[in-house]
Amino acid sequence: MTWRERRIVTFLSTILGILCIALLIVLGIKYRESRAPEAPASPAAALAGEESACSALRYTNGVATLEFQRNESGKWFWTADDDFPLDDTHLTTILETLSAMTPQQTLESVESLDELGLESPVTTISALYTSGTAFSLAFGSTTADGSSVYATQNGQSSPVYIYSGEILGLLQTGIHDMCTLPDVPAVAEEQVQRVTIQNPANADGAMQRFTMNSKKDGETIRWECDGRTVTNSQRVRDLFTDLSEITFEKCISYRPSQEAAALCGVTNAKAVTLWANYISSTDLEETLQLSIGDLTLDGQSRYVRLNGESAIYSVPLSSLDSILTIALNGFSG
């Protein structure tokens, strides 16, 4: 073998050795990647699909802090008042949104948490799952376009994530917006035996009442008030239309103080009160009581109490016009 041939062999051997080393490095990297678990896009992504496994939820929005838990049967309740008639639809929406969240951007380091509103965040959410996993987010300022928000996770100051701001709107919901509204019985005219409407107390403390009674002759219903027939009065016709369609819009306060009830005008001395005595579909004697107070802040509804309970709701004016008209003028007309 000549020196030229030996030189070529040496050169090719060197190239082959380098290629072998490179191949071993690549194979080593691939092996380590196959052994390492795939990291989720964010801790929230690891909770996807576990909405039903969440056992406790807490959020604060700068105005109130709300905490919820599931009982042994899996039903959500508000920890501050476990008798509160909670509609958990909103909680399900929050959990579905939370588990679907992935960061739009991850900032491994930032110059100042304070500039991003994360030094003392006022909006936070935390969830505890039956698996023992706990997850929390603290939200700071929104981004320049207002559509996203800076956040930190699980009490860590770094990294900082940028998330869609969709969840912020969900966390602004107050507890009374999650109240299951009462079912108001749709009282038909043929079921009613008596209707009484009482005015608020005057300066002397006296209260005026108007009462009409049902007089039935076979299938014919006749209504009398103070010995006069008022069956065909437009006020009476409007009243029964409203009683068959009345609905509650929103819970204003479930356990209001006496001061709050007075401000809403639903106390006995200030409210217009209706009592409708009727026979239910199960042949029981029932009474529908509505205590109608002042106008709501938007002027479109009135504060109302149902059946003497303490909770205050709002009811559209259109459902109450006939009652208020009769309170002022009586059943005739």
- Domain spans, the chain: 43-178, 189-329
Distance CA 105, CA 275 (A): 60
Q: Is residue 108 within 8 Å of residue 20, measured between CB atoms?
A: no
Q: What is the pLDDT along the chain (333 residues), one digit of tens a residue?
A: 554 555 554 544 555 555 555 544 544 545 444 443 333 345 455 555 555 688 999 999 989 999 999 998 889 999 999 999 999 999 999 988 988 888 999 998 888 898 888 999 999 999 988 888 888 999 999 998 889 999 999 988 889 999 999 999 999 999 999 999 998 888 889 999 999 999 987 777 778 899 999 998 777 899 999 989 999 999 999 999 999 889 999 999 999 999 999 999 999 888 999 999 999 988 899 999 999 999 999 999 999 999 999 999 999 999 999 999 999 999 988
Domain 189-329 CATH class label: mainly beta
Residues 6 or more apart whose CB falls under 8 angstroms from that of 46 comprise 40, 133
The pLDDT assigned to 18 comes to 53
Give residues with Cβ within 8 angstroms of 110, minimum separation 6: 116, 158, 160
What is the widest separation between alpha-carbon atoms in the chain? Answer: 138
Query: Which of 86, 106, 93 minimizes the C-alpha distance to 40?
Result: 106
Burial zone of 156 (CB within 10 Å; 0-12 exposed, 13-18 middle, 19+ buried): exposed
The amino acid present at 263, given as its one-letter code, is: L
Per-residue pLDDT, 308: 93
276-291 b/e (C-beta count within 10 Å ≥ 16 → b): bbbeeeeeeeeebebb
SS3 of 136, please?
strand
pTM of the model: 0.79
Please tell me the distance from the alpha carbon of residue 27 to that of residue 19, in angstroms, as a whole number.
12
Residue 81's closest CA among 96, 102, 66?
66
Q: Helix 321-329 and helix 234-243: axis angle, to 10°?
A: 140
Burial of 212 (0-12, 13-18, 19+ CB in 10 A): buried
Best CA proximity match to 136, nearest among 115, 107, 167, 105: 167
Beta strands in 116-159 (DSSP E): 123-129, 134-142, 148-153
Q: DSSP code of 63? A: S
What's residue 64's pLDDT?
A: 94
Task: Let me know: does 128 contact 134? Beta carbons within 8 Å.
Answer: yes
> Any idea which residue has 């005008």 for tokens?
265
Asked if residues 170 and 187 have their Cβ atoms less than 8 Å apart, the reply is: no
Interacting residues of 31 by C-beta distance below 8 A, sequence separation 6+: none
Q: Report the C-alpha gap between 139 and 287 in whole angstroms.
A: 49
Q: Please tell me the distance from the alpha carbon of residue 50 to that of residue 96, in angstroms, as a whole number.
A: 9
